[in-house]
Amino acid sequence: MKRYFLLIVVIISVHITLAAQQRTHMPYSVYGLGDLVPKGFARNMAMGRTGIAISSNYYLNNLNPAAYHSIDSVSFFFDFGMNGNFVKYRTNQNGSQRGNDMNISNLAIGFSITPHWSAGIGINPYSSIGYKIQTTNTIEGSPDEQFNAEITGNGGLNQFYWNNSYELFDHLSLGVNFNYLFGSVQSIETVDAPSLSNDIIINESSFLNRLYADFGLQAWFPLNKNLNLSLGAVFGNTHNIKIRDRITISEEDGSVSQDEITRRGTFEFPLYAGAGLSVVYKNSLTLAADYVYHDWSSTPSGAPNYKYRSNNMFRFGAEVIPGRYSKLGYFGLVAYRAGVYYEESYLEVKNKLIPEYGVTAGVGLPFLQNRTSINISYNYGIKGTLESNLVKENYHSVMVTLTMHDWWFLKRKID
């Protein structure tokens, strides 16, 4: 436990360091809640982001709270992951540019509470914001005088969750996930003009938080001695997220002319539902497919240049573990993974859809002594469009997670 505590301290320190790095290369994060971060660990990401119908006694899976039923009564898992993104942006007007960043992708533990009740606790980013816009405009009423404005955005939402899985009968698991969503969206505009003695800084922030629950289930059926079928489903109802808007107007010398709360209200979070299917052959080959729907259409944007829209997500993945150590050596124990996905955005910008699609691959490298493993996933994707002077992104994403396993309630014997 001391080792785990020390590791958590190191992780939090790294997280603070990474969070302090300002990202300015995410153009679509200027809209709405920012860029939504895909949920899941490296195994899920390498298998096309699937996982609604997948469970395992070797890996954690936070895509379905019912998936934790496979954790046995003496196992404890600790999962820590980091993600790096390398993106090329293109427009019809300004050519291309590149950006990259590195962030903590997840921090989670999983364990069994009773023979039928297992749980997982963790934190992961829900959305991310990072952009910089520079413009030059004419001052109204003074056509000969111009001012420069630089707008930077940062922040995002995080999700702290407590997954619970309860196994009923021999082939059904019900799950409930308690979530606390929190974070802020910040836009800072700096105005510089010859007639101003100091730059004017306009800071607009929105703070959001909400405690809510969503649900899941998994059912599994042995079709024969070598073939198993699993079905999964997830559901979350609509929620009103608390939101508080604040504006601060100040000058570069530190004097403040306005600082007030402009709105206290709610932001409508969408209903969502998903279904998944997985087939396992001889504990060696796993095929998975997921479909997820979010009903964002009833959420007002309050802006003329974009609106929220309902979106569909289609995901497919596979995993192969070739054979036993005695026959193929260590590489026979390695898990080889691949997948594809197509996802619609929750935003419609300038009356244009923002599609996203890509391919994934990865490996799971096990330790021989226990169920600890290092999991690596790679994702190449395309997002956006060049129509209506919008931005098209080609990105490479690499996620590395360390899944550490330990035994609970086992006494060591000393010879």
For residue 132, what is the DSSP state? E
The fold of the 2-407 domain, in CATH, is Porin (2.40.160)
φ/ψ (deg, to 5) at 365 = -105, 105
Query: How many whole angstroms separate alpha carbon 24 and alpha carbon 19?
Result: 13
How do strand 172-192 and strand 335-343 relate by DSSP bridges?
unpaired
State the distance between the two ends of the chain, measured CA to CA, in whole angstroms. Answer: 24
* In contact, 288 and 317? CB cutoff 8 Å: yes
Do residues 100 and 83 touch, judged by C-beta distance below 8 A?
Answer: no
Location of structure tokens 């590149």: 98
Each of the 415 residues of the chain gets a pLDDT tens digit; together they read 455 555 555 555 455 444 444 556 788 888 888 899 999 999 999 999 999 999 999 999 999 999 999 998 888 898 988 899 999 988 887 777 888 888 888 889 999 999 899 999 988 899 988 888 887 776 665 666 677 888 888 888 999 999 999 998 889 999 999 999 999 888 888 888 777 778 888 899 999 999 999 999 999 999 998 999 999 999 999 989 999 999 998 887 778 888 888 888 888 889 999 999 999 998 889 999 999 999 998 888 878 888 999 999 999 999 999 876 557 788 888 999 999 999 999 999 988 888 999 999 999 999 887 789 999 999 999 999 888 888 899 999 999 999 988 876 555 555 4
Question: In this structure, are residues 152 and 131 in contact, taking their beta carbons and an 8 Å threshold?
Answer: yes
